[in-house]
């Protein structure tokens, strides 16, 4: 039996827009097992990033319950959320979100500083992660001295350096050309093969097809669940 790493129960999110309440997520039920590579597909405005922000503890649902790695994480304080976020979640974004003044190595080390890991161990782990994503030889480069695909590799190394339970990626190939995007997807597939749990958001069916499971969000609801064997 595979362990459930994440479970959303009747998660809803709405925004008050003047008089009207806009429902962005409508009673989402979702279970993610350890080691899954889940692709979340859906058109622009369907609620994908809202869902990712809730999964990543960057945003709170309006109602519903959320269990992550054995913790109930709805209704926690900011401080508690930040601690769980740092431990359990690694983020990868469309625009990489690296700090421009820091080298690839310093960017990769950053989450470990927040975790309070000593400097020497930090550096060692960051170098190992950069090696894993094929960028050890560029570790002293700053982001502007790297290609888009290389910057995304640094972002992936940074996301994984804390050994999070889940890697969350929001349109990770969205800013890359097709060939570079495929290389990033290949890296995700390798990480999936090594047992990492990955949630990847995309509006591109071809990209989503690389997941071990695909769900589709339409207008704030999970419209279709397409499972195939892992
Ligand atoms: N802070 C907010 N206040 C009000 N409405 C919001 C807020 N954030 C998101 N929304 C609305 O929620 C809906 C879903 O947005 P979301 O960013 O989750 O879509 P998405 O599926 O990620 O789209 P895209 O593919 O374009 O990134 C949109 O209609 C958006 O306008
Ligand atoms: Mg989005």
Closest listed residue to residue 39, CA positions, set 165, 180, 224: 224
Distance CA 51, CA 27 (A): 11
In the predicted structure, residue 226 carries a pLDDT above the cut 70: no
- Among protein residues, the one with the nearest Cα to ligand 1's atom 4 is 15
Quick one: DSSP state of residue 129?
A: H
- Ligand 1, residues at Cβ distance < 6 Å: 15, 22, 24, 42, 44-50, 203
Model confidence pLDDT, tens digit, residues 164-173: 999 999 999 9
Beta pairing, strands 221-227 & 213-218: antiparallel
Q: Does domain 4-227 have CATH number 3.40.50.300?
A: yes
Q: What is the pLDDT of residue 229?
A: 45
- Among protein residues, the one with the nearest Cα to ligand 1's atom 31 is 45
- Among protein residues, the one with the nearest Cα to ligand 1's atom 13 is 45
Beta bridge partners of 7: 31, 67
Q: What share of the chain is helix, strand, coil (3-state, %, to 5)?
A: 35, 30, 35
13: phi then psi, degrees, rounded to nearest 5:
-140, 125
Model confidence pLDDT, tens digit, residues 58-113: 999 999 999 999 899 998 999 999 999 999 999 999 999 999 999 999 999 999 99
Give the Å distances, CA to CA, from 106 to 15, 89, 103, 207. Answer: 37, 19, 5, 30
Q: Which residues lie below 8 Å from residue 100, measured CB to CB, with a gap of 6+? A: 142, 143, 144
**Largest interatomic CA distance in the chain:** 56
Closest listed residue to residue 217, CA positions, set 25, 72, 83: 25
Beta bridge partners of 31: 7
Domain ranges for the chain, please list them: 4-227
Model confidence pLDDT, tens digit, residues 44-61: 999 999 999 999 999 999
Alpha carbon of 40 to ligand 2 centroid (Å): 11
Residue 148 DSSP SS3: helix
Beta pairing, strands 213-218 & 4-17: unpaired
Give the pLDDT band of residue 230 (cuts 50, 70, 90). Answer: very low
Kindly give the number of the ligand 1 atom that is closest to the alpha carbon of 43: 25
Alpha carbon of 56 to ligand 2 centroid (Å): 14
Give the Å distances, CA to CA, from 189 to 15, 170, 200, 209, 210. Answer: 36, 16, 11, 11, 8
In the predicted structure, residue 144 carries a pLDDT above the cut 50: yes
Q: What percent of the chain is predicted at pLDDT more than 70?
A: 97
In the predicted structure, residue 227 carries a pLDDT above the cut 60: no
Model confidence pLDDT, tens digit, residues 165-202: 999 999 999 999 999 999 999 999 999 999 999 999 99
């Amino acid at each position: 039996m595979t362990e459930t790493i994440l479970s959303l129960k009747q998660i809803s999110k709405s925004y008050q827009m003047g008089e009207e309440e806009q429902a962005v997520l409508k009673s989402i039920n979702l279970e993610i097992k350890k080691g899954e590579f889940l692709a979340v597909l859906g058109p622009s405005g369907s609620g994908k990033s809202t869902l990712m922000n809730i999964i990543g503890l960057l945003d709170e649902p309006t109602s519903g319950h959320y269990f992550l790695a054995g913790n109930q994480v709805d209704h926690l304080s900011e401080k508690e959320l930040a601690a769980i976020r740092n431990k359990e979640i690694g983020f990868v974004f469309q625009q990489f979100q690296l700090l421009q003044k820091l080298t690839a190595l310093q960017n990769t080390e950053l989450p470990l500083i927040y975790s309070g890991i000593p400097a020497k161990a930090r550096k060692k782990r960051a170098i190992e992660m950069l090696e894993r994503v094929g960028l050890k030889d560029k570790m002293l480069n700053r982001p502007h001295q790297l290609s888009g695909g290389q910057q995304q590799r640094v972002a992936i190394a940074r996301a994984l350096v804390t050994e999070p339970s889940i890697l969350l990626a929001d349109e990770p190939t969205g800013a890359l050309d097709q060939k570079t995007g495929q290389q990033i997807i290949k890296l995700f597939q390798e990480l999936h093969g090594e047992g990492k749990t990955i949630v990847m958001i995309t509006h591109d069916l071809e990209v989503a097809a690389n997941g071990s499971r695909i769900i589709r969000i339409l207008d704030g609801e999970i419209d279709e669940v397409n499972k195939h064997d892992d």
